[in-house]
Amino acid sequence: MARSRESRTLEFEDEQLPDLEARPRRSRAAARANPETRGRKRVLLAVVFLFFLMVVMAAVALVVQMDTFLATDHRFTLRPFSKNGLVIADGPIELVGAEHVEAQELFAIFEPDVGRSLYLLPLEARREQLLAIDWVEQASVSRLWPDRLQVVVRERVPVAVAAIATGRRGDAYQMMLLDRNGVLMRRPRQGAFDLPVVFGLNFDQSVDYRQARAELVSTVQSELQPLHIGFSEIDVSDPAYLRISFSIEGKNMTLILGRAKYLERVKTFLERLPELMKANPQANLFNMRLENQIISSREGLNGE
């Protein structure tokens, strides 16, 4: 009896088992190999590609159309800004920051752009041309649509009048202005500058060389400021023999200060000036390079 019950149980369980061979599962590889599926994917990819191609072509056409419009429409044309050599007061260029450099010199840079669209104006190239002007330290050019420009410049600040040696013997000078970066500028037609005259510079020197001399001038000016004496000339040919010249009671004095202690040495000179003039009334050159010693003689700033 026990065997018969076990046999029926096994037969029942066998009947519940699925027929694996009768219902085979399709693999993914088989689905991919289906020609109909591959065809649908190709059509879908082609439609997507054509859609994006049409979008790109439409964008390119729009850009070309806009570019042509901006380059050719008369509403964007830069009008003349000068007449008979004079800048028009209410012209198409707004100039900001120019005080010593002449407006006509700045505007002349934009002559090739008159009659052309503002869109075609090469902003960076025009900015570089502005920076080539000696007085211009920084510059920017902006379009003011539809047909105006704004030119903003920052001029250099001179720290001294440079007596540039031009003669073979160094006895002829061309007077220019020197800024803190060692750049030489032409003296403007208008404008007065109460600045010391610097000797020891020429056109053959590098900008770095002149910048070092300009920094030396600024250092001397800063150190001597508490004394409220404005020196009129300074010779920076050799910093070890730096000379300054100023006037006291109508008499020109030249001091050889050397490389350092400018304030201390000038204060000592002013304190001892009465006794120095008493000992040598004709003296106008005072060598103070040595500590606690002043050597007086009769000579000018340039050795005359």
- Print the SS3 string covering 238-268: CHHHCEEEEEECCEEEEEECCCCCHHHHHHH
Identify the CATH class of 82-155. Answer: alpha beta
Candidates 233, 217, 151; CA nearest to 181 is 217
Q: What is the structure's pLDDT at 33?
A: 57
For residue 52, pLDDT over 70 is answered with: yes
Q: What is the distance between the alpha carbons of residues 298 and 15, in angstroms, rounded to a whole number?
A: 135
Q: What is the mean pLDDT of residues 159-184?
A: 90
Of 169-173, 189-193, 220-224, least confident by mean pLDDT is 169-173
Q: What is the distance between the alpha carbons of residues 268 and 289, in angstroms, rounded to a whole number?
A: 12
For residue 241, pLDDT over 80 is answered with: yes
Omega of the bond leading into 146 within 30 degrees of 0 (cis): yes
C-alpha of 169 from chain center = 37
Q: Which residue has the higher pLDDT, 69 or 3?
A: 69
Of 2-6, 178-182, 297-301, least confident by mean pLDDT is 2-6
What does each C-alpha distance from 98 to 111, 157, 163, 193 come to in angstroms?
A: 18, 12, 25, 17
Domain 158-297 superfamily per CATH: Cell division protein FtsQ/DivIB (3.40.50.11690)
Q: What is the distance between the alpha carbons of residues 62 and 60, in angstroms, rounded to a whole number?
A: 5
Identify the band that residue 244 occupies on the pLDDT scale cut at 50, 70 and 90: very high
CB 242 within 8 A of CB 233: no
Q: What is the structure's pLDDT at 205?
A: 94
Q: What is the mean pLDDT of residues 129-133?
A: 97
Task: Tokens 């200060």: give the residue.
Answer: 257
Q: What is the mean pLDDT of residues 208-234?
A: 94
For residue 6, pLDDT over 70 is answered with: no
CB 83 within 8 A of CB 140: no
| pTM across the whole model | 0.75
Residue 94 main-chain phi, psi, to 5 deg: -95, 115
For residue 232, pLDDT over 80 is answered with: yes
For residue 256, pLDDT over 70 is answered with: yes
